[in-house]
Amino acid sequence: MIAKEKIEQIISPKLNEGLFIVDVTITPSNSITVVLDGDNGVGIDACVAISREVEAELDEEGVIFELVVTSAGVGQPLKLVRQYKKNIGREVEVMLNSGEKVSGELKVVTETDFEVEYTVLKLPEGGKRKVKVVEKRVIPYNEVKSTKVLVSFK
């Protein structure tokens, strides 16, 4: 089986500025999937170039493999702090390990946690009607099961 580290060593020097590896998975039958992302997105040309580099290297070694190089797509969970940073200002849905779901705007990202701002309806003290209240919640990464960017068609 091909080592994940070997694939990362082949790819890393070939990445253009702003591109980064999100994930590399390899099955026991040498089916390799490389997921890339970029601070300004990832074009098809970048995926093709990386695919050719990996294929050339592994073909020289006579390894039998299947390769897919793709960009991190809409609906895929965020995995790296760098992905959270590039999505500041966007709406996200966070599923916590506890089963709770938090949806709101991604506001602040640090190396250990991130902040989501959202609106809730609350009954003010002595009031008869609920009013909209903006709340912020800091969520540590170790409490997160998954975070997805929500796509809006407004």
The architecture that CATH gives domain 81-149 is: Roll (2.30)
Higher-confidence residue of 61 and 5: namely 5
Q: In the chain, what are the domain boundaries?
A: 4-71, 81-149
Query: Can you tell me the mean pLDDT for 38-47?
Result: 89
Reported pTM: 0.82
Does the domain spanning 4-71 belong to CATH 3.30.300.20?
Answer: yes
- Per-residue pLDDT of 101-150, as tens digits, reads 999 999 999 999 999 999 999 888 888 899 999 999 999 999 999 999 99
Q: Nearest CA to 134 among 150, 119, 151?
A: 119
- CA separation for the pair 52, 35 (Å, rounded): 15
| Those residues with Cβ within 8 angstroms of residue 28's Cβ, 6 or more apart along the chain or in another chain | 1
